[in-house]
Amino acid sequence: MQWQELIHDDLVSNQALDARARDLGLDACVIKDPSTRVVWLRMLATTFEAVIGAVWVDSGADSYDTVYAVMERLGFFNHPMLPVTYCNLSPPMLTNIQTIIGLRCLDPG
């Protein structure tokens, strides 16, 4: 397994997003169909990604700094294999949390 796959599995896989969201109590905020008894893993992972997307939209969709600050506060960059520093890159299309994780780069200084 390559290091990118390890980081993906630990930070942004559905299982990791589900666990992080449950730790934060986000599962209690999901509005379910009355016939649905539990918040399923994929449902909660997708909801968590939507929350990060909402931060992006609410920040005016022109600055990664706000999204980065929220994700940093939520511990997304606390991984022993990510000893890198955030840097401002030209904005690519932002589609999901995996893209935001990709915005980190080595500090040239």
3-state secondary structure the chain: CCHHHHHHHHHCCHHHHHHHHHHHCHHHHCCCCCCCCCCCHHHHHHHHHHHHHHHHHHCCCCCHHHHHHHHHHCCCCCCCCCCCEECCCCCCCCCCHHHHHCCEECCCC
Give the model's pLDDT for residue 46: 92
pTM: 0.67
Give me the pLDDT at residue 98, please: 53
pLDDT in tens, the chain (109 residues): 676 777 778 888 899 999 999 999 999 999 888 898 899 999 999 999 999 989 989 988 777 888 888 888 888 777 776 655 445 444 444 445 555 555 554 444 4
CB 39 within 8 A of CB 17: no
CA dist list (Å): 10 to 33, 67, 70, 77, 78: 30, 19, 18, 11, 10
Tokens at residue 5, please? 């796959």
